[in-house]
Amino acid sequence: MEFTIERPDRKLQHALQARIDSLTKPKGSLGVLEDLALQVGLIQQTLTPRLCHPQNIVFAADHGIVAEGVSVAPKEVTWQQVLHFTHPQGTGGVNFLCRQHGFTLKVVDAGVDYELPKDRGIIDLKIRRGTSNYIDGPAMSEAELEQCLEGGSRVVRQCAAEGSNVLSFGEMGIGNTSASSLWMHFFTGIPLSECVGAGSGLDIKGILHKYEVLSRAKENYRGDGSPRDLIRWFGGFEMGMAVGAMLQAAELKMVILVDGFIMTSCMLAASKLCPAVLDYAVFGHCGDESGHRKLLDALGARPLLNLGLRLGEGTGAICAYPILDSAVRMINEMDTFDTASITQYF
């Protein structure tokens, strides 16, 4: 797929900044809220931005590299959690946060190694039942990467048709911190040892084993080093779909709330395909997974929260949404010095 992502037109920046500075507050006193209001105003090209119908899309798939013992959680946790997310009671971590903050939750089967039931509302875009083990070969084919990009794009277009202009993305896939660590290393040049962490709860011995496995996978890489090749060689189907979803969201000029380590890695990969996607990204939080802070720094990103989160699923991005909402409410609901008949003192 080809995506055409335009950088927001900066001609409106002066008027937006003047509007923000005219609100009844000391100049700059609402800090990050002012920066966010400017960003969203530029994305939407308006002095009165709005956030409409927020949705969180969880992409799920399995990873062949799990066969090498890189995760403390067994592979079946992927499909079990997908069923948990879509249970009628909605008692998963992402479920209560979606309810709290008014998000619609969509769950996508990108490549779960299980025949999921048809009556749970799961969006079935299964490519196959998990990627190949990339210890000595690519995780997916070029054609499968195309399927990933198209699948993620299709879900975002559906959200846009439903009236959404702000999306967050989450993932479920045992083993996907391994893929994220390799993307981080190849795309940033940060030593692999600084990119590998505990994932779902490895101890020190487990982290060392994970590092050794990923080092072998790195040494065995025989691709051309291009972003697309690195994405398909080490990525998961759910991660490839997230990349396509992010690119499509940016093309449609939507605000993208970026979650934790895996979704930040997906935004990194997306930016290697289309750098302008970063203009549409709001980074929700800095998680506890080793390497996430360094990855954010490599992207020049300033996360809104630091709560020690490392659940994934989009939870950190959803937690950050009220801050984004506050920024938009600020520019729309605060009086200006003129309308409030207050002397502007700067």
Among candidates 231, 197, 230, 190, which has minimal Cα distance to 211?
A: 197
By annotation, the residues acting in catalysis are 313
Using an 8 Å Cβ cutoff, are 63 and 178 in contact? yes
> Bridge-partner residues for 105, per DSSP?
56
Angle at 301 between CA 297 and CA 304, to 5 degrees: 115
* Contacts for 256 with CB less than 8 Å, ≥ 6 apart: 166, 167, 168, 169, 246, 249, 250, 267, 277, 280, 281, 282
Q: What is the distance between the alpha carbons of residues 297 and 305, in angstroms, rounded to a whole number?
A: 14
pLDDT score of 345: 83
Among candidates 301, 297, 304, 303, which has minimal Cα distance to 278?
A: 301
C-alpha torsion 57→186→230→206, nearest 10: -70
Q: What is the distance between the alpha carbons of residues 177 and 241, in angstroms, rounded to a whole number?
A: 16
pLDDT score of 238: 98
User: How far, in Å, are 20, 49, 283, 329 from residue 37 at the CA level?
Assistant: 8, 8, 14, 9
Q: What is the DSSP letter of 194?
A: G
Q: Which two tokens stand for residue 19?
A: 């509007």
Q: Which fold has domain 55-323?
A: Rossmann fold (3.40.50)
Would you call 282 helix, strand, or coil by DSSP? Answer: strand
Q: What is the distance between the alpha carbons of residues 85 and 315, in angstroms, rounded to a whole number?
A: 12
pLDDT score of 199: 87
At residue 282, what are phi and psi to the nearest 5 degrees?
Answer: -115, 120
Q: Where are the domains of the chain?
A: 55-323
Axis crossing angle, helix 31-44 with helix 13-21, rounded to the nearest 10? 140
Give tens-digit pLDDT for 249-285.
999 999 999 999 999 999 999 999 999 999 999 999 9
Give tens-digit pLDDT for 204-223.
999 999 999 999 999 999 99
Q: What residue ranges of the chain have pLDDT lower than 50?
A: none
Q: Which two tokens stand for residue 268?
A: 């990194």
